[in-house]
Amino acid sequence: MIFSFDLLAEALIFGLLLGCFYAAVSIGLSVSFGLLDVPHVAHPAVMILGSYCTFIVAGWGLDPIVAGVVLMPAFFVLGVLIYRFYYESFEKRGTEAGVRGLAFFFGIAFIIEVGLILVFGVDQRSVQAAYIGSSWALGDYRIPYRMLVAFGVALVLTLALTIYLSQTFTGRAIKAVAQDEPALRLMGANPVRIKQWAFGIATAVSALAGAMVIIVGPVEPAMDRVYIGRTFCVVVLAGLGSMTGTLASGLILGISESIVLMFFGASWAPAVAFGLLLVVLGIRPQGLFGR
Amino acid sequence: MKFWIGSAVIVLAALGVALSPINEYFFFAAFVVLTFVVLATAWNILGGYAGYVNFGTSAFFGLGAYSAVVLFKGLGAPLAVQIAAGAAMGALLGFGVGLLTLRLRGIFFAIATVAVIFIMETLMINWRYVGGATGLQLLRPEAMAPFTSYTRMLFVVMALMAVVSVAVARFVQTSWIGRGLRALRDSEEAAEASGVPTLRLKLFACVISGALMGAAGAPMPMYLSFIEPASTFSLNYAIGALAAPMIGGTMHWLGPVIGAILLASLQQIVTVTISGEMNVLVIGVLLVLFVVLAPEGILGFFKRWLKSSSR
């Protein structure tokens, strides 16, 4: 292990950018799992599906970010369908849904992953854009533009969702469902429709997150596995359903991962998210900014 | 009594088949099927009876495999010792995971067990002694006396382990331990309030289940003559061990056995006739179909018949 303050500064800058990116890939889960209590283990798989869809749409000549935005309505519908199916099969029947609900999403994740392998093969795929491949020289440090783009989109996404959930009528309704579903039912509102809408939004956001994943680096079908650790780590560390908490814990994960990457090598990096997740679950399962 | 006679018949049949001149490939495939019987039975002790979903079967399996490799490389230990070591390490990891159940339930517990897989895998990737990321070739010793090949011997060993693990699961299910586990699955608070020692039972279930999974992993390096982290800690073991009980039925010890035999045989056929990717797709699709359409699995169809016959 070689230590120097230059390396540390570089690790911090890179970790900051990486952290915002991790917050962005986790924010959909923060809504679907954090607010709606759906055990959405397939979230990373849906996101990687978003990356591959971005790959196709960007192949028609669109910018990858635009491609991600274009995909959002389709993913919204997909999310509504997934939730509807989950609700009809498990939530509605009530008791003992826990084990089977989890198994259901685990199965969905595998189906998406193998589906991607069958269609695209196991090779890595990437997209082209002006900002991919070049970097910005800031003094002695080189910051890749693709990380800056992901950083920017992540900030916008987090801010937009925070404002949406706290300021708009439907956004508040979503938070109300999370806080007290029976009360909402007594008020005459239909919690299922609100949750369906929220799950749609969470899935639409995952499409854009998927676009960012393929901008930041090449993707392969089995990549969702390592993102299970990263996304759940961020969401649990944040405390379920806290949007600003998601940004903060994304930064914590990004910085820790980049420090480990810089000082111990790439082979240890995948364990950081899972290790942090295990520590948080063991010591403080309600997270840092819990509701 | 019927159970024990049946078990003895199965082990003797396995021995007989192994000594007959059947094609070697049969043993190659049957070993994997039997491994899944052990894994699914072990998974069901915690997942089916107690309702704690363990996504981390691969961690236990891989730990068992690597314990065997370390003992074999360091001391040249025989297979029986390797299996015992795998079981011991699996039990130890099970105890650690069991402590997590103090605080975690449902999806939190499930995700924590996934984390254990990736942490174990990273540790092994960074451990030079066992070959790191590239893996390690292993030279198999000669097969023991009556057997003509090592694979045949492993087949009989695995058949024995399958029978033992089913007997353990059956014991857990029919004794007061099983009643306690079912009680805490339905409501942990109510069980605790009625005097069920929930923590001790959960720890016991985790340790037993972990030990069986670790033991199941131990013969794998010898079977492949090779070990490597990515395939040893593959999530395919985790989904297989979870899917088999879901398909067979989680309430009875027979469920995981039926599920594992059906699923793993189907997978072997699909792998040979279509492709390796397709066999994972088969598990995923069957798992989703069964949890949605047949919550009680195949055994759900035979429920009345099962109730009338003795356990």
Chain A interface test: which of B43, B49, B52, B53 (most A C-beta within 10 Å): B53
Helix axes B254-273, B24-44, angle to 10 degrees: 140
Instruction: Provide mean pLDDT across the span A72-78.
Output: 95
Q: Which residues of A touch B255 (CB under 8 A)?
A: none
**Tally of domains within chain B:** 1
Confidence of residue B157 (pLDDT cuts 50, 70, 90): very high
Name the pTM for this structure: 0.91
A107–B106 CB contact, under 8 Å: no
Decide: helix, strand or coil at residue A219.
Answer: strand
- In Å, what is the CA distance from A72 to each residue of A69, A168, A220? 5, 20, 21
Predicted confidence (pLDDT) per residue in A26-53, tens digit? 999 999 988 888 889 999 999 999 999 9
B94 touches chain A (CB under 8 A): no
Say how far apart CA B190 and CA B184 lie, in whole Å: 8
Say how far apart CA A215 and CA A146 lie, in whole Å: 6
Evaluate whether residue B5 is within a structural domain.
no
The minimum CA-CA distance between B251 and chain A, rounded to whole Å, is 12
CA dihedral A259, A262, A266, A268 (to 10 degrees): -40
Question: Is pLDDT of B309 > 60?
Answer: no
A274–B118 CB contact, under 8 Å: yes
The ipTM estimated for the assembled molecules is: 0.87
Average pLDDT, chain A: 87
Say how far apart CA B66 and CA B303 lie, in whole Å: 40
pLDDT > 70 fraction of chain B, expressed in percent and rounded: 97
Question: Is pLDDT of A130 > 80?
Answer: no
Q: Which residues of B touch A117 (CB under 8 A)?
A: 277
Confidence of residue A270 (pLDDT cuts 50, 70, 90): confident
Evaluate whether residue B84 is within a structural domain.
yes
Evaluate whether residue B51 is within a structural domain.
yes
Instruction: Provide mean pLDDT across the span B295-311.
Output: 72
Per-residue model confidence (pLDDT) at position B310? 47
Closest to B47 (Cβ–Cβ): which among A99, A111, A232?
A99
Closest to A107 (Cβ–Cβ): which among B118, B123, B288?
B288
Sign of CA dihedral B105, B106, B111, B114: positive
Predicted confidence (pLDDT) per residue in B230-252, tens digit? 899 988 899 999 999 999 988 88
B280–A103 CB contact, under 8 Å: no
Alpha helices in A168-242 (DSSP H): 169-179, 181-186, 191-216, 224-238
Say how far apart CA A235 and CA A40 lie, in whole Å: 12
Evaluate whether residue B15 is within a structural domain.
no
Task: Count other C-beta atoms under 10 Å from residue B237's C-beta.
Answer: 27
Predicted confidence (pLDDT) per residue in A232-251, tens digit? 999 999 887 788 888 899 99
CB B46 within 8 A of CB B252: no
Provide the residue range defining the domain that includes B251: 25-308
- For chain A, the structural domain boundaries read 27-223
Per-residue model confidence (pLDDT) at position A45? 95
* Residues of A contacting chain B (CB within 8 angstroms): 33, 39, 41, 89, 96, 98-104, 106-108, 110-111, 113-115, 117-118, 225-226, 228-229, 232, 236, 267-268, 270-271, 274-275, 277-278, 281-282, 285
Confidence of residue B38 (pLDDT cuts 50, 70, 90): very high
Q: Which residues of A touch B285 (CB under 8 A)?
A: 107, 111
The minimum CA-CA distance between A185 and chain B, rounded to whole Å, is 25
CATH of the domain at B217: 1.10.3470
Confidence of residue B311 (pLDDT cuts 50, 70, 90): very low
Predicted confidence (pLDDT) per residue in A178-219, tens digit? 888 888 888 878 888 899 999 999 999 999 999 999 988 899
pLDDT > 90 fraction of chain B, expressed in percent and rounded: 48
Predicted confidence (pLDDT) per residue in B123-147, tens digit? 999 988 888 888 888 888 887 778 8
